[in-house]
């Protein structure tokens, strides 16, 4: 099943990778690799993570405090957010 990121999720991904890269050279690339690994885990077993709501699931990254919020659709897996889990959780309620 293919995976697609919304434009908002891509913006969050870019913002986070640029932030990490500004903190230390190479960490932005490490962050992107971690997101890629999480995406591959979702793709190989989309139902592995417990639902947050009827349509939303979250896969957490291992090294960084982020989670991919996603929706399993019949034809694709839609990544709705690259969520910084240190932020106020109500920020992500719109996806529930």
Could you tell me the CATH number of the domain that includes residue 87? 3.30.2310.20
H-helix or E-strand containing 19? helix 7-23
Q: For residue 63, give both structure tokens.
A: 């090294």
The number of folded domains in the chain is 1
Q: Do 85 and 74 touch, CB atoms closer than 8 A?
A: no
Structural domain boundaries, residue 64: 2-95
Measured in degrees and rounded to the nearest 5, phi and psi for residue 69 equal: -90, 125
- Whether pTM > 0.85 for this model: the answer is yes
Q: Contact at 8 Å (CB) between 44 and 51?
A: no
Angle at 47 between CA 44 and CA 50, to 5 degrees: 130
Relative to beta strand 57-60, strand 2-5 is unpaired
Q: Tens place of pLDDT for every residue, the chain, 96 residues? A: 899 999 999 999 999 999 999 999 999 999 999 999 999 999 999 999 989 899 999 999 999 999 999 999 999 999 999 999 887 666 666 665
């Amino acid at each position: 099943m293919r995976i697609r990121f919304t434009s908002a999720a891509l913006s969050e991904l870019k913002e986070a990778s640029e932030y990490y890269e500004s903190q230390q050279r190479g960490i932005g690339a490490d962050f992107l690799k971690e997101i890629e690994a999480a995406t591959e885990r979702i793709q190989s077993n989309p139902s592995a993570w417990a639902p947050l709501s009827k349509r939303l699931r979250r896969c957490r990254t291992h090294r960084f405090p982020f989670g991919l919020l996603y929706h399993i659709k019949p034809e694709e897996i839609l990544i709705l957010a690259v969520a910084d889990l240190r932020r106020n959780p109500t920020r992500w309620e719109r996806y529930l």
